[in-house]
Chain A
Amino acid sequence: MSTTLPEVPQGLLEVDLHEGSAIVQLDATLYPLPAIYAATYAFIDRAYVLLDRPAEGRVRVTLWSKQPETTAQALHDLVGELANEVLAGAFRHRLTQDNQAIVETVTMQAMAGAMGPPSLEDLADFDFTDTALDDPLGIAQSWEEKHKKKAPQSPDAPEPEGTP
């Protein structure tokens, strides 16, 4: 049976002790989606987590505790932790945007400082067929390669999947 917590504004939170679950609705204009993803992901060791969008501008988080017998206090703590984590995530998201230049510079220097330049051995081992060199649009193909006549298909060739 669903109930609410008195300290939380009406409609934002429902808890179901019997199911060991809590439903929290978040205002998507207050909390950016990356922050909600990051915050809720941190709970998947303690709870099963489902996100959905019940209405425009709303994100609904459903948490089912993984504990077999969940107390009201445990659910209360779970929701409180989630609320704090979402706020921390939103703030961090903002700070990362504000300080993007300095964070990128420091990270790049730290990684470059630790990795150093590639040695000849590294270059010899480098996989030049890596996905970064994939060409899905065929931009690097010549006109002849791209538009050449395809060979007629063998009558023994298997039917492509999905053919009725």
Chain B
Amino acid sequence: MISMAELQPVAGTQAQFSFREVGDKVLITNREGRWLLLEAQEFTAYARGQVEAGSDLHTRLRDDGFLREGYEVSTAAERLRARSSFVHGGPNLHMFVVTLRCNETCAYCHASRANMDAVHTDMTKGTAERAVDLVLRSTSPFVTIEFQGGEPLVNYEVVQHIVNYATERNAEIGKQLEFTMVSNFGLLDEEKLDWLLEHRVQLCTSVDGPEALHNAQRKLPTGDAHQRTVHWIRRINERYAELGLDPTLYHVEALLTTTRATLPQWKEVVDCYVKLGCRSLFLRPIDPFGFAERTRRRLEYPRAEYLEYYRNAVDYMLELNAQGVEILERYAAIFLTKILGGHDPNYLDLRSPAGAGIGALAYDYDGNVYTCDEGRMLAASGDRSFQIGNVHESAYRDLVGHPTVRALAIATNLDTQPDCVHCTYQPYCGTNAAFNYKTQGTIFGRMRDNAVCAVHKGIQDYLFGKLAEGDPQVLDTFERWTTVRPRDHFIQPAPTSEP
């Protein structure tokens, strides 16, 4: 639609901008993340430096920092600072792999699990304590310890020990401390649930969609993984209600892994999540870590097919929202918070630089520390490129000041990336160094044929397409998706002073 030969930009009129055709409009964005959707003739006039002073278009362009005339450096700097506030934050997410043992066998998970008799893959209390000591050295005033596995309930005693030890140690340090656990709930019982609720551990799970799909991908010897998970989701939600917590805010959220088999079942997946009372669905594509080549061919899919699935699913979610059903798509919510809200929700793989090491750390059962969970999974396959130390040997500053962390901060800075540096979506985007390394051989990757880039671009094309259509109902839903309501109940209470 736009003929580059006809544009003939005039030096000195436009401020920095990037552009991309979205439907029959042209999206322009700038470094500060401001954006406008222009009609084709408006864009041509802008690019040629022929926008009439005093016109509505001139005002819109000037107010959002697209013209040199009236460009306010201090305002632009403030906007940029608001979008990059995470840079100073330090690691706030600390992933603890308390065991590799797992009661389920999942089609897509090999590097992250061990059989139930592999007791040597349990984290010891001593290792756990050293890891907690490091967590509490983080410069971030807010820290979340996330229990992962394997299945963390297999090493429940150490989970309890970590909660008790961290809470006790934090009494004198005073960080805002939270615990979350990602569990399949297969080993949960009422006694454990009582304890976890009493200690305000937020519970999350994995649901791969409807029963048949879930049970085909996540196998228990009894063949009832879905039924067990669903039972406990309902039970936990009941318990939250009994505690007087707002059910629209406090309920079990679940994570989906999208395999080839999921793609045609987008409607069933959304319906399943709504039926379970989940308010959010993260349509994550499968990642390439931890399974064999043969399995990859069975589970993987072209990203174009994924994007069709994504669009179908989110279109359907928007329809449901229009009918009063509140369900949001997590990817969309993250991007829209940046696009519409002007600030960054600090999702570690969608920021520049990414959060590996500087925003998050992963602690393996044996005390080895990695910049990210993907790095830990790579190590399980024999490649320790992302290991930055061990809790028994490394001081906190050695870990986060490790040369690998610095290399990742540079590699995931989009200002060093061909394509990204000129991309219209740069202010809202990010890249994952471990994924690049695994799939393209370097931590930089090549965005032109990078699957994560294709997904990010495709989702943002979809979202800006919806913004361009301007359906008030959709815009209202999008605004709602950017509203973050804090779940304060899960913050560990400050210690009461001695009488």
Q: Please report A residues at the B interface, Cβ cutoff 8 Å.
A: 38, 42-43, 45-46, 84-85, 88, 91-92, 95-96, 99, 102-103, 106-107, 109-116, 118, 122, 125
Contacts and interface: CB of A to CB of B under 8 A. Distances in A.
Contacts of B401: 111, 114-115
Contacts of A125: 395
A50 to B, nearest CB: 18
Given A107-B406, A115-B400, A95 B139 contact: no
A46 B138 CA distance: 39
A91 B139 CA distance: 35
B473 interface: no
B418 interface: yes
B441 A114 contact: no
Given A92-B417, A96-B416, A111-B358, A106 B353 contact: yes
Given A95-B416, A95-B418, A107-B410, A114 B444 contact: no
Contact of B415 (A103, A110, A112): A103
A107 B418 contact: no
* Size band of the interface chain B makes with A: 20 to 34
A65 to B, nearest CB: 15
A84 B446 contact: yes
A43 B441 CA distance: 7
B312 interface: no
Contact of A106 (B87, B397, B449): B87
A116 B138 CA distance: 8
B91 interface: yes
B90 interface: yes
A117 to B, nearest CB: 9
Interface string B410-442: 100101111001000000000000000000111
Contacts, number: 88
A42 B439 CA distance: 11
12 contacts: A43-B441, A92-B418, A96-B416, A106-B409, A107-B409, A107-B410, A107-B413, A110-B409, A111-B358, A113-B88, A115-B139, A115-B401
A65 B417 CA distance: 28
Contacts of A42: 440-442
Interface string B442-480: 101010110000000000000000000000000000000
A106 B409 CA distance: 9
Nearest to A43: B441
Contacts of A99: 415-416, 421
A43 B138 CA distance: 37
Contact of A122 (B88, B90, B397): B397
B90 A114 contact: yes
B357 interface: yes
Nearest to A41: B442
B89 A92 contact: no
A107, A110, A112 interface centre (most CB from chain B within 10 Å): A110
A110 B353 contact: yes
Q: Which of A46, A88, A99 has the most chain B CB atoms inside 10 A of its CB?
A: A88
A91 B421 CA distance: 11
A91 B90 contact: no
A149 B409 CA distance: 52
B391 interface: no
